[in-house]
Amino acid sequence: MNKQQFIEDDLKYIWRPFTQMKSLEDASNRPIVITRGKGIYLEDIDGNKYIDAVSSWWVNTLGHSNDRINKVIYEQAQKIEHVIFAGFTHEPVVEFSKKIINKINNKLTKVFFSDNGSTSVEVALKMAYQYQVLKGHPEKKKFIALKNSYHGDTLGAVSVGGIDMYHKLYKPLLFEIEQAESPYCYRCPMNCNKETCNCECLKSVEDILSDDASNIAGMIIEPLVQAAGGMIMYPPKYITKLRSICDKYNILLIDDEVAMGFYRTGKLFACEHAGIVPDIICAAKGITAGYMPLSVTITTDEIYNAFYDDDTDGYKTFYHGHSYTAYPLALAVALENLKILEEMNIEEYLKPKIERFSKELEKFRNHKNVGDIRQTGMICAVELVKNKVTKEPFAYEDGIGKKIYLEGLKLGAILRPMWNCIYFITPYIITEEEIKKLTDIAYEALNRVLPN
Model pLDDT for residues 290-324, shown as the tens digit of each residue? 999 999 999 999 999 999 998 778 889 999 999 99
Q: Where are the domains of the chain?
A: 32-65+346-449, 70-344
pLDDT at 311: 76
Residue 221 pLDDT level (bands cut at 50, 70, 90): very high
Above 90 in pLDDT, residue 194? no
- In this predicted model, what pLDDT tens digit does every residue of 323-370 receive, in sequence order? 999 999 999 999 999 999 999 999 999 999 999 999 999 999 999 999
Fold of 70-344: Aspartate Aminotransferase; domain 2 (3.40.640)
| pLDDT at residue 65, rounded to an integer | 98
Q: Which CATH class is domain 32-65+346-449?
A: alpha beta
Percent of the chain's residues with pLDDT above 90: 93
| pLDDT for position 91 | 97
pLDDT at 27: 87
Q: Which of 402, 400, 357 is nearest to 381 (CA)?
A: 357
Q: Is the pLDDT of residue 197 over 80?
A: yes
Q: Is the pLDDT of residue 1 over 80?
A: no
Q: Is the pLDDT of residue 156 over 90?
A: yes
- Sign of the alpha-carbon dihedral angle for 346, 349, 351, 357: negative
Q: What is the pTM (predicted TM-score) of this model?
A: 0.97
Across 161-188, average pLDDT: 94
pLDDT for position 310: 87
Residue range 363-422, pLDDT digits in tens: 999 999 999 999 999 999 999 999 999 999 999 899 999 999 999 999 999 999 988 999
Torsion angle of C-alpha atoms 126, 128, 129, 134, degrees rounded to 10 = 120
197: Cβ contacts below 8 Å, ≥ 6 apart: 185, 188, 190
> Mean pLDDT across the chain, nearest whole number?
96
| Topology alike, domains 32-65+346-449 and 70-344 | no
Query: Using 50, 70 and 90 to split pLDDT, how confident is the model at 70?
Result: very high
Between vectors from CA 118 to CA 409 and to CA 425, what angle results, nearest 5°? 30
Spatial distance between the Cα atoms of 308 and 316, rounded to a whole number of angstroms: 7
Q: Are strands 216-221 and 370-376 parallel, antiparallel or unpaired?
A: unpaired
